[in-house]
């Protein structure tokens, strides 16, 4: 039977990523001591991306500091040591059930594309390279008065999700006005594994 790895985290894995794993496209499993993670590099199904640097198909796993090498080795051993009819290796969200300190899926880096937002319409940041299926918490806070702030939560639908989650009425009622200098903060987290999260902030100036 086909063997696969999946993270018991609730975070979606793209069809391409699943395809690569199921068709033996793992080209490398690498310990990254700089970022406390294990990186699984996958060749693309068109046979491109035949070096680690040239493939964008990757899975990232958080690892306890100092366990990067042994975490990578244990993932390899788990793959190679599966029983003949086994189908999966579970990398659990509960540390005590993890493979040698491998804590689960790492949230990939993402950016906030917005720089100016009009208070006349529903507002919120537009993201780039966000991970589908991740939970988000987005807030906007006035720099000169931290009590003027709004926060919303939800789930990422697309990699370039436009999170226009604050209505014009909410923004006005909270006391935001045009020319306000504000800070937008977006935190993405893995469902069922909220400790795995990444926060990005951006400065914005509200416009009329």
Read off the CATH number of the domain in which 190 is found.
2.60.40
Collapsing DSSP to helix, strand or coil, 5 comes out as strand
Q: Give the domain-ending residue among 89, 105, 121.
A: 105
* pLDDT of res. 92: 45
End-to-end, the C-alpha distance of the chain in Å comes to 60
User: Looking at the structure, do residues 94 and 123 belong to the same domain, yes or no?
Assistant: no
Task: Let me know whether 87 and 135 are in one domain.
Answer: no
Co-location of 173 and 157 in the same domain: yes
What pLDDT tens digit does each residue of the chain (208 aa) get?
333 444 444 455 554 555 455 556 778 888 889 988 888 887 777 777 778 888 877 888 878 888 888 888 877 776 665 544 454 454 444 333 345 555 556 677 888 876 668 888 899 998 988 888 888 999 999 999 999 999 999 999 888 888 999 999 999 999 999 999 999 999 998 776 666 788 999 999 999 9
The pLDDT score that the predictor gives to residue 16 is 52
Determine the pLDDT at residue 2: 36
Rounded CA separation 60/91 (Å): 12
Q: Which of 73, 105, 137 is the last residue of a domain?
A: 105
Contact between 119 and 166 (Cβ < 8 Å): no
- Looking at the 3D structure of the chain, how many domains does it have? 2
């Amino acid at each position: 039977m086909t063997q696969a790895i999946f993270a018991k985290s609730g975070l979606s894995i793209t069809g391409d990523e699943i395809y690569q794993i199921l068709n033996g496209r793992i080209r490398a499993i690498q310990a990254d001591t700089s970022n406390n993670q294990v990186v699984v590099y996958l060749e693309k199904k068109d046979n491109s991306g035949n070096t680690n640097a040239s493939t964008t198909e990757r899975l990232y796993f958080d690892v306890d500091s100092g366990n990067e090498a042994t975490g990578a080795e244990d993932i390899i051993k788990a793959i190679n040591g599966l029983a003949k009819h086994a189908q999966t290796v579970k990398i659990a969200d509960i540390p005590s059930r993890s493979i040698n300190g491998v804590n689960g899926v790492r949230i990939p880096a993402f950016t906030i594309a917005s720089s100016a937002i009009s208070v006349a319409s529903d507002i919120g940041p537009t993201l780039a390279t966000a991970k589908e299926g991740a939970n988000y918490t987005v807030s906007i806070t006035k720099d000169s008065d931290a009590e003027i702030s709004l926060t919303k939560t939800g789930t990422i639908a697309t990699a370039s999700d436009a999170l226009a989650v604050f209505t014009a009425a909410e923004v006005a009622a909270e006391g935001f006005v045009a020319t306000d200098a504000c800070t937008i903060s977006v935190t993405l987290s893995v469902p069922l594994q909220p400790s795995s999260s990444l926060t990005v902030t951006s400065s914005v100036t509200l416009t009329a």
